[in-house]
Amino acid sequence: MGSRQIIITAVTDAALTATHTVFRFVMTTIEPLTPQLQFVSCPHEGGSHRMAYWRWGAAHAPHVVMAVHGLTRQGRDFDRLAAALVHAGQGQVQVICPDVAGRGKSEWLSNPALYQVPQYASDMLVLLTALHAAHPMETLDWVGTSMGGLIGLVLMGQPQLPMPAAVRRCVLNDVGPSITWSSLQRMQQYVGQYGSYTDLHQVAQVLRLLSVGFGPVPVDIWLELCSHMVRPSPEGGLTLHYDPAIAQPLQALTEESALANEPIMWGLYEHMRAQVLLIRGEDSDLLTLDTAQAMTQRGPKARLVQWPHIGHAPTLTDPEHIRVLTDFLLG
């Protein structure tokens, strides 16, 4: 986040209506799906890295929904949303949930300076190109939480990029072109600062303290989310999944450089052609109400939905929240 390098280089190498009735049937009576873990090779300066992604649904499904996570998160954050979309899509929808480089099952980058949105956007373009080459996509939608929304903004705001399909509908989850400096300072205090934990319950307690903005997520769902946030620790027990070095570009960010990026990001937003649903936690410290309201008046003129008792950022696990996204993406 915060890089002033925005333009990225291209690498050479009948949506179905989801009614409330169908949605509730999906959520209560159909056996859970499991995602397929796959990989794609992505170039970076001086080499390449493998990026993992989780596919929900059939590879040949013509409607692709890309769901991209936040700064310290990973692709399994979207399990419940992805399962609901695939079920409601009745074989026509697949959901692709990448683990952004340095997170989850993806490889870590040897140069921490590359842990920034331009590299991530380039990786997503490689992934989309590979998916389209294997099975041509007819419809492309985007769901981006926080950093995942910024990645989408960079791709959708540059019409000259060789996207295999134009993004039709986009959900921006608690993020926009302007990000408060106080929220970036908060991230600077905790990103990359972690150790070893005895078990999943201790991890869940620690992450709960760091993620107050996620709101009142039920205990069982919270444990489910946290189960994908860990890897074995070399010292024994568990540690967090991501490369601590992802914090280095964030630590180098200053208030002046963050403010300098805003006109660039607003320019990208105003070039978006997708229909945008903007989700905001009413208590968000990252996306202000003023910024959210401005996004309803500029560029694609997003439709704003606010959810109470939540800050940054909604987990998209609540059944009612999933219904809102399912109706928007499949309706």
Q: Which domains does the chain have, with CATH numbers?
A: 34-180+262-330 (3.40.50.1820)
Contact 54, 116 (CB under 8 A): no
Regions of the chain with pLDDT less than 50: 1-31
Q: What is the pLDDT of residue 298?
A: 98
Q: What is the pLDDT of residue 14?
A: 30
Q: What is the pLDDT of residue 33?
A: 84
Cα–Cα distance between 321 and 331 in angstroms, integer? 15
Q: What is the pLDDT of residue 212?
A: 95
CA 213 to chain centre: 16
Q: What is the pLDDT of residue 331?
A: 85
Continuous H helices in 38-116: 79-89
Residues 222-237: pLDDT tens digits?
A: 999 999 999 999 989 9
Report pTM: 0.90
Q: What is the pLDDT of residue 5?
A: 31
CA end-to-end distance (rounded Å), the chain: 32
Mention every residue, 6+ apart, whose C-beta is less than 8 A from residue 91. Answer: 57, 58, 61
Residues 136-151: pLDDT tens digits?
A: 999 999 999 999 999 9
Cα–Cα distance between 43 and 123 in angstroms, integer? 8
Q: What is the pLDDT of residue 65?
A: 98
Q: What is the pLDDT of residue 10?
A: 32
Cα–Cα distance between 302 and 68 in angstroms, integer? 19
CA 229-234-240 angle, 5° bins: 15
Q: What is the pLDDT of residue 31?
A: 47
